[in-house]
Amino acid sequence: GKQLALVKTSSAVRTCGFDFGGNIIMFSTDKQMGYQCFVSFFDLRDPSQIENNEPYMKIPCSDSKITSAVWGPLGEFIIAGHENGELNQFSAKSGEQLSNIKEHTKQINDIQTSRDMTMFITASKDNTAKLFDCTSLEHLKTFRTERPVNSAALSPIFDHVVLGGGQEAMDVTTTSTRIGKFEARFFHLAFEEEFGRVKGHFGPINSVAFHPDGKSYSSGGEDGYVRIHYFDPQYFEFEFEA
């Protein structure tokens, strides 16, 4: 529990993560209080960067702030999702923008990669989750719902996707759980078809994640609960037969 380092920022930190080797951290700060959005990179092998609060690289994002970001394979670049629905690749060495696409029409709330880091899935306020190639940013699949998607995750063992969402948090008090669409929703990765829903939350789901062994998943909601669900044995039998 001992604090090893402290990095101070001028505005709220929206997203952060370690690179493939665990030596470099990146985080993005919000566009607020007169400060613009930046992505900062610190190399933990150089203690002076932390001591002086001086990252080895800062990338300004003046057009639209970053709302979610993850490292790409082998820590060569990061993939950033923006408030306006854009996706960018930024080099972790030069800070150069490697590619830019706009497949979403509204804010990207979450980005999660597949276990082998070849693909990633985005969750957006435009009521969709989309699958992309990590390196080329090619758009591969789309999963559609009737409500904003706050989080999406890829199963490590099956061609399955879980989505979590619901409406905006500020609208929750005026909506009954019956019509709030607070279920976790399962889609087939290849066919883009929904095959199951799991109820339980009485507020929007903010975050979903599969267990690394693929035998369970968890969801965290606006209702203040984290729910951990273990899949039935039939779930595995059905998938292997199929």
Domains and their CATH numbers in the chain: 9-101 (2.40.10), 103-241 (2.130.10.10)
DSSP per-residue letters across 101-157: EE--SS-EEEEEE-TTSSEEEEEETTSEEEEEETTT--EEEEEE-SS-EEEEEE-SS
- What pLDDT score was predicted for residue 34? 81
Q: Using an 8 Å Cβ cutoff, are 35 and 62 in contact? A: no
Using DSSP's 3-state secondary structure scheme, residue 86 falls into strand
Q: Using an 8 Å Cβ cutoff, are 70 and 120 in contact? A: yes
pLDDT tens column, 156-191? 999 999 999 987 656 655 555 455 579 999 999 999
pLDDT tens column, 42-85? 999 999 999 999 999 999 988 899 999 999 999 999 999 999 99
